[in-house]
């Protein structure tokens, strides 16, 4: 009988800050080590784990809520880290940028990021690597390019961790691989465990029609979008449907695009992305930005997705007073962000002035909805335990009940940070 210990270091009843250690016989495999931001934009770190307790780290993808605290582990140790090659290259950019912006609050420096990258072993989807008693395999998770689910085998026990997962194909990436993976324990995200996304087709139709309405009348459309994932998906959609329009892209997205196009194996519509990036215009400096906001019928895709900074804030300030212009939000807006305030109150910050431009939100999620998550859970063969993380409390409690109704004889856990689950398998 195998006993598996699961330590929840982050992501317990919260979205983001994913950090879970899975162990048997003393040493652990760490699954992600991410951060969250509080309402004052201060990074919130996961709980501590001693580097000498770790056999290896497996990284699901390069969003900060999964990698933001990783370099902390490398200030005094070298632990092998496993991730896809594109995740490694993206992590370098994301972590260096994070350090530049939030360095004051972070217990690591650039040399620790470099040490982490030096300790990284890149792995293709569906290939394996062993560390002591553990064998690790990465499987496509469909969330962003290079995103992976992790399958850990120890003795005769198999544990599958989803990371962030999407089960539908998008233009940017193919949906997660769900073809009957065998696992005893599933550790799954549940960001949207309580809701079903409207069909992607409908959302895209509504979005494209709305963009057309604005540019046909001479207005400018600002689309604030995360630089990794959402920006490229929106550019692909615009290229397919409005190729003739004046489309610009700006912000950190420029560096990330270069990395993505050098890894065609992790993209769904590689050719389309290359053409979109070539034919649409990249904004190079502030002079170009000024020209764009003074002319008509432009579409601007720019970071940051929640309007917390970046060129998107500059564009917004320039276009917000004219009701012919529009701001179309296409990403999740965190509860205390300027983007959420814009949606709910019509201004970015109190005293910052009312936005008169049209404001609308579109559900372009890169996470599975409840239906996709259930499909995923049902596709796992031999399952006996489910651990639910990366989900707000309210959402997760509803999702847990839903799972209980459809899964007979399977234990479902919805732990909090600091919990240690001891799981005995027969």
Nearer to Zn ion, 146 or 219 (CB): 146
Contact, 341 vs 163, CB < 8 A? Answer: no
Q: Are strands 43-44 and 54-58 parallel, antiparallel or unpaired?
A: unpaired
Residues 348-387 that bind Zn ion (CB under 5 A): none
Q: How far is the CB of 61 from Zn ion (least distance, A)?
A: 6
**Residue 261 C-alpha from the chain's centroid:** 19
32 touching Zn ion, by CB under 5 A: no
Nearer to Zn ion, 143 or 171 (CB): 143
Q: How far is the CB of 266 from Zn ion (least distance, A)?
A: 15
Segment near Zn ion (CB under 5 A); pick from 20-28, 58-66, 231-239, 269-277: 58-66
Q: How far is the CB of 403 from Zn ion (least distance, A)?
A: 20
65 touching Zn ion, by CB under 5 A: yes
Q: How far is the CB of 70 from Zn ion (least distance, A)?
A: 14
Segment near Zn ion (CB under 5 A); pick from 63-71, 123-131, 230-238, 413-421: 63-71
Q: How far is the CB of 24 from Zn ion (least distance, A)?
A: 26
Length of the chain: 426
Burial of 412: CB neighbours in 10 Å, binned 0-12, 13-18, 19+: middle
Binding-site size for Zn ion (CB under 5 A) equals 3
**Cα gap 79→73, rounded to integer Å:** 8
Q: Strand pairing partners for 124?
A: none
Q: How far is the CB of 21 from Zn ion (least distance, A)?
A: 17
Q: How far is the CB of 68 from Zn ion (least distance, A)?
A: 11
Contact, 185 vs 295, CB < 8 A? Answer: no
Contact, 1 vs 426, CB < 8 A? Answer: yes
Segment near Zn ion (CB under 5 A); pick from 21-29, 57-65, 256-264, 289-297: 57-65
Nearer to Zn ion, 34 or 311 (CB): 34
Site string for Zn ion, 150-169 (x = CB under 5 A): --------------x-----
Nearer to Zn ion, 31 or 214 (CB): 31
Nearer to Zn ion, 300 or 368 (CB): 368
137 touching Zn ion, by CB under 5 A: no
Other beta carbons within 10 angstroms of residue 102's beta carbon come to 16
Out of 7, 13, 17, 63, the only residue in the binding site for Zn ion (CB under 5 A) is 63
Q: How far is the CB of 60 from Zn ion (least distance, A)?
A: 8
Sign of CA dihedral 415, 16, 142, 237: positive
Other beta carbons within 10 angstroms of residue 314's beta carbon come to 17
Nearer to Zn ion, 111 or 416 (CB): 416
Report phi then psi at 204, rounded to 5: -65, -40
Residue 30, CB half-sphere, CA atoms under 13 Å: how many? Answer: 27
Residues in CB range of 84: below 8 A, 6 or more apart: 122, 123, 124, 125, 138, 146, 148, 266
Contact, 161 vs 389, CB < 8 A? Answer: no
Give residues in contact with Zn ion (CB under 5 A). 63, 65, 164
């Amino acid at each position: 009988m195998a006993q598996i210990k699961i330590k929840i270091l982050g992501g317990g009843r919260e979205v983001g800050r994913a950090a879970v250690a899975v162990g048997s016989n003393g040493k652990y495999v760490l699954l992600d080590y991410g951060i969250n931001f509080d309402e004052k934009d201060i990074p919130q770190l996961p709980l501590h784990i001693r580097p000498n307790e770790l056999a290896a780290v497996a990284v699901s993808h390069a969003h900060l809520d999964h990698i933001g605290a990783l370099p902390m582990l490398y200030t005094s140790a070298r632990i092998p880290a496993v991730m896809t090659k594109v995740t490694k290259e993206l992590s370098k950019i994301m972590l260096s940028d994070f350090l530049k912006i939030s360095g004051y609050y972070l217990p690591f420096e650039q040399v620790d990021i470099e040490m982490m990258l030096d300790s990284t072993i890149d792995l293709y989807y569906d290939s394996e690597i062993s560390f002591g008693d553990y064998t690790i395999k990465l499987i496509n998770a469909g969330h962003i390019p290079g995103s992976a689910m992790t399958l850990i085998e120890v003795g005769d026990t198999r544990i599958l961790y989803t990371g962030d997962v999407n089960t539908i194909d998008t233009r940017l990436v193919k949906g997660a691989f769900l073809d009957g993976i065998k696992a005893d324990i599933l550790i799954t995200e549940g960001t949207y465990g309580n809701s079903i996304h409207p069909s992607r087709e409908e959302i895209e139709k509504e979005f494209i029609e709305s963009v057309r309405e604005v540019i046909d009348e001479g207005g400018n459309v600002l689309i604030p979008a995360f630089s990794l994932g959402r920006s490229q998906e929106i550019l692909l959609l615009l290229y397919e449907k409005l190729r003739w329009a004046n489309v610009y892209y700006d912000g950190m997205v420029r560096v990330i695009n270069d990395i993505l196009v050098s890894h065609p194996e992790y993209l769904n519509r590689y050719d389309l992305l290359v053409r979109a990036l070539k034919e649409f215009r990249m904004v190079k400096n502030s002079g170009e930005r000024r020209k764009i906001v003074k002319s008509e019928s432009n579409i601007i895709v720019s970071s940051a997705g929640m309007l917390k900074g970046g060129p998107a804030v500059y564009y917004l300030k320039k276009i917000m007073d004219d009701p012919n212009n529009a701001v179309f939000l296409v990403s999740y807006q965190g509860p205390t962000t300027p983007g959420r305030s814009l949606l709910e109150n019509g201004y970015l910050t109190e005293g910052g002035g009312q936005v008169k431009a049209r404001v609308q939100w579109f559900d372009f999620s890169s996470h599975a909805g409840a239906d996709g998550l259930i499909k995923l859970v049902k596709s796992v063969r031999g399952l006996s335990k489910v651990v639910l993380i990366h989900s707000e409390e309210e959402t997760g409690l509803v999702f847990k009940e839903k799972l209980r109704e459809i899964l007979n004889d399977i234990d479902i856990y919805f732990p909090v940070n600091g919990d240690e689950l001891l799981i005995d398998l027969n």
